[in-house]
Amino acid sequence: MTPDLIFPLFALVIGMLVGSFLNVCICRMPKNESVVFPPSHCPNCEYQIRWYDNIPVISYLLLKGKCRGCGTRISLQYPLVELLNGLLTLALFLRFGPTPEFLVLFLFCSALVVITFIDLEHQIIPDEISLSGIVIGFICSFFLQGHFWLNSLLGILLGGGSLLFVAYAYQWLTGKEGMGGGDIKLLAMMGAFLGWKSIPFIIFCSSLVGSVIGISIMLVQKKDSKLAIPFGPYLAFSAVLYVFYGRQIIQWYLAFGTPAGR
């Protein structure tokens, strides 16, 4: 097998293995439980999962989606998270190669996977991820080319400040809280990792996607605008989109909006 195949395959496997740990974070962090102890086990029968039953995706297929101990159905979320993180890692490696940018964005995207699934189920964004992510993202900026630390710092201020302004303005106009503090800290974390130029794109894209999906859900469920819809997944999707295609989309938009001949 040639290196052109070995290294991408290695990235895929590493991403899936990390995805297995992300599942632990997704299940335990909302309950304020340790992600280290006790070892992985069945929540129904307490059967401690052996290493051969914890191989990403493969073990789920071999066990036919059931616990070896009691036969309880295992959530499809487990292989989905493993596969998703593996594919994200592979895509990052193919895009950036074995570079510091790849390592930083691998950490960033893995955190977004955890945030997305927790916010979808519990409508919370753990401070342990967003606040520590702000610090880690800023520290990582010193190891990237150019004066990225300043870009990162401005990203933190613009990311957190913009949504904080929107939240206060909405509350002042309506007397109701329309955006949680978790979203504000999450966007600040995104600014720390991606820089200030990413913030307008992420806000616009997440608002657009969130509006389309939110309205569609309300029409299908026939519920009014009081329906609570987590915004974190839309922010996460937009941030990942920016990582891979953000600059190209912005350049296309600017070129599309420029009158011919100018």
3-state secondary structure at position 65: coil
How close are the terminal C-alpha atoms of the chain, in Å?
A: 51
Looking at 55, 74, 98, the residue that finishes a domain is 98
What was the pLDDT predicted at 103? Answer: 95
Residue 200 and residue 82 in one domain: no
- 42 and 164: one domain? no
Q: Please state the rounded mean pLDDT for residues 117-125.
A: 94
pTM of the entire predicted model: 0.89
Q: Is residue 207 domain-resident?
A: yes
Q: Are residues 145 and 252 in the same domain?
A: yes
Return the exposure string of 54-79: e unless at least 16 CB atoms fall within 10 Å of the residue's CB, then b: bebbebbeeeeeebbeeeeebeeebb
Is residue 156 within 8 Å of 195, Cβ to Cβ?
Answer: no
Q: Sign of dihedral through CA atoms 52, 109, 128, 140?
A: positive
In this predicted model, what pLDDT tens digit does every residue of 44-83 receive, in sequence order? Answer: 787 788 888 889 999 999 998 998 888 889 899 999 999 9
Average model confidence (pLDDT) for the chain? 88
Q: What is the pLDDT of residue 181?
A: 83
Answer yes or no: is pLDDT of 143 > 70. Answer: yes
Which residues span the domain enclosing 222?
Answer: 133-262
Q: Minimal CA–CA distance to 231: which of 113, 122, 120, 85?
A: 120
pLDDT score of 70: 87
Pick the last residue of a domain from 98, 118, 148. 98
Q: Residues 188-212: pLDDT tens digits?
A: 999 999 999 999 999 999 999 988 8
User: Do 141 and 91 reside in the same domain of the chain?
Assistant: no
